[in-house]
Structure 1
Amino acid sequence: MCGRFSLISKPEEVEAEFGLMTLEPFPPRYNIAPTQPILMVVAGEPREPGSNLPDRRALLVRWGLMPAWVKDTKNFPLLFNARSETAAEKAAFRTAMRHRRALIPASGFYEWRKYGKKEAQAYWVRPRNGGVFAFAGLMETYAEPGGSEIDTGTILTTSANGDISDIYERMPVVIHRQDFARWLDCRSQEPRDVADLLRPAEPGFFEPIPVSDLVNKVANTGPELQQRVEVSLPPKAEKPKPAVGTQMSLF
């Protein structure tokens, strides 16, 4: 799962990493939550002849994908994550996976390790070498009953790698710079052609840093959310293994 993330890189750093023309200035965002606007990069129209920039454009979308066929938005779940293993088959994501794959610039994300009955320790998970990187995303334009349109999006997730698995079993899919063009190419690259990109980040890419519970409140939006705190947690309990020779049951 990825329910909070951050984009604190400067606009010019995002431009350089994603091959974009000039972005509108934006402040650092330390605590981005579902339903808030997020920056997405999608394939655009081809550049002018001689341009050395790729055909990409950036836009703001609401974090929480809304499929075009939804009638009752009030009772439809907030799809801020999509399981990459099944996105190409699920009705909510199938069309976007084929036609509207996107990149989501990020500086890191937050995850919580549960312990005890209700307690949870928050972690700021960032690239070990710093800088801006990309989540794999999907975008869908939803036409509201009144006729207006809203762009919406979701973050694809996969199983956690060794850096994260002690905290949580899932993590966002990371698309590396050398794979941007292939991921965004929905004209010639079908979902099966980019399935190999939907994998956990390589070991050592991320660094989890324990932080305070300030991030739990959306109203908290300052750099103090990412300050390291000292923690002492009990070891994570292992799931019990079935006894050897026991009979399996269908019930």
Structure 2
Amino acid sequence: MCGRYQLTMPADAVRRLFAVAVEVEPFPPRYNIAPTQPVHVVREGPKGRELALMRWGLLPSWVKDPTNFPLLINARAETAADKPAFRNALRRRRVLLPATGFYEWAREGSGKGARKVPMLFTADGPLALAGLAETWQGPNGEEVDTVAILTGEARGLAATVHTRMPLTVPAEAFARWLDPANDDAIEALGWTARVDHAMRPVSERLGNARLEGAGLMAADDRPEPAAPSPEEKQPTLL
């Protein structure tokens, strides 16, 4: 799955990379983007590509009560074309989520001493995560733009930590991916990719979604086990 990611590049760089047609308001670097938070999304608008804020957690338009609906932060690429929650969005409302890396938690040790350490996955440059968007309208006419990230079977280093990984869209496929006129869902899935990543540990404090900042990128100190004192060593039996 993809349950956390980061976007640390400046707004102007995002605008240039994704050829956003309108001015983009500056925003701070974000190192700990979590579900239900507002996230930056590139979509096709009436005047060209635009950068919008959407809630991370897709709500299909037909949902009556969002409090009784599961939080859909990811959509499995293998089944998205058939699932009622995702199939229309995959055909007509595909978006891109700018990112500079994503996280998965690796298990270290076993038993009571086991730890889950967040690992940061990055590529040679920024990532364009493949997303699906829906606008949910409430009973009082309120509208909420929502988004989910497409995932596929993990490969490479990502597969050593988790079975799933976010899918990306290469720059040469941005136009096709964002164009709602291209409504063949299966063909659209063929424009996604799995990029090779580098992997490194970061602070376990990343697990707290309320925390933010570059300080989360420093791996926690892991003291080496102390060598046993002479009194603690077991005698050698001859």
TM-score exceeds 0.5 = yes
Aligned structure 1 segments of 4 or more residues deviating by more than 3 angstroms: 228-232
Aligned-residue CA RMSD in angstroms? 1.7
Question: Which residue is equivalent to 2:115?
Answer: 119
Question: Which residue is equivalent to 1:235?
Answer: none
Aligned counterparts of 2:161 and 2:182: Cα–Cα separation in 1: 37
Q: How big is the shift at 1:222?
A: 1.0
TM-score (norm: length of structure 1): 0.83
CA contact under 8 A between 1:210 and 1:231: conserved in structure 2?
Answer: no
Question: Which residue is equivalent to 1:37?
Answer: 38
Question: Which residue is equivalent to 1:143?
Answer: 137
Q: How big is the shift at 1:197?
A: 2.4
Q: Deviations over 1:24-46 (max 9, x none)?
A: 11011110111100011111235
1:17-166 map, 5 Å: 17-20=17-20, 21-45=22-46, 55-115=48-108, 116-117=110-111, 119-127=115-123, 129=124, 131-166=125-160
Q: How big is the shift at 1:198?
A: 3.5
Aligned counterparts of 1:189 and 1:79: Cα–Cα separation in 2: 22
Closer/same/farther in 2, CA of residues 198 and 138 from structure 1, 3 Å limit: same
Larger Rg, first or second structure (1 or 2): 2
What are structure 1's unaligned runs of at least 5 residues?
A: 47-54, 233-251
Q: How big is the shift at 1:231?
A: 6.1
CA contact under 8 A between 1:9 and 1:28: conserved in structure 2?
Answer: yes
What are structure 2's unaligned runs of at least 5 residues?
A: 224-238
Aligned identity (percent) is 42
Q: Deviations over 1:15-70 (max 9, x none)?
A: 11100132111011110111100011111235xxxxxxxx2111100000000111
Question: Which residue is equivalent to 1:226?
Answer: 217
Question: Which residue is equivalent to 2:176?
Answer: 182
CA contact under 8 A between 1:135 and 1:172: conserved in structure 2?
Answer: yes
TM-score (norm: length of structure 2): 0.87
CA contact under 8 A between 2:91 and 2:182: conserved in structure 1?
Answer: no
SS of 1:41 mapped into structure 2: strand
Count residues with an aligned counterpart: 219
SS of 1:14 mapped into structure 2: helix
**Which 10-residue stretch deviates more, 116-125 or 62-71?**
116-125
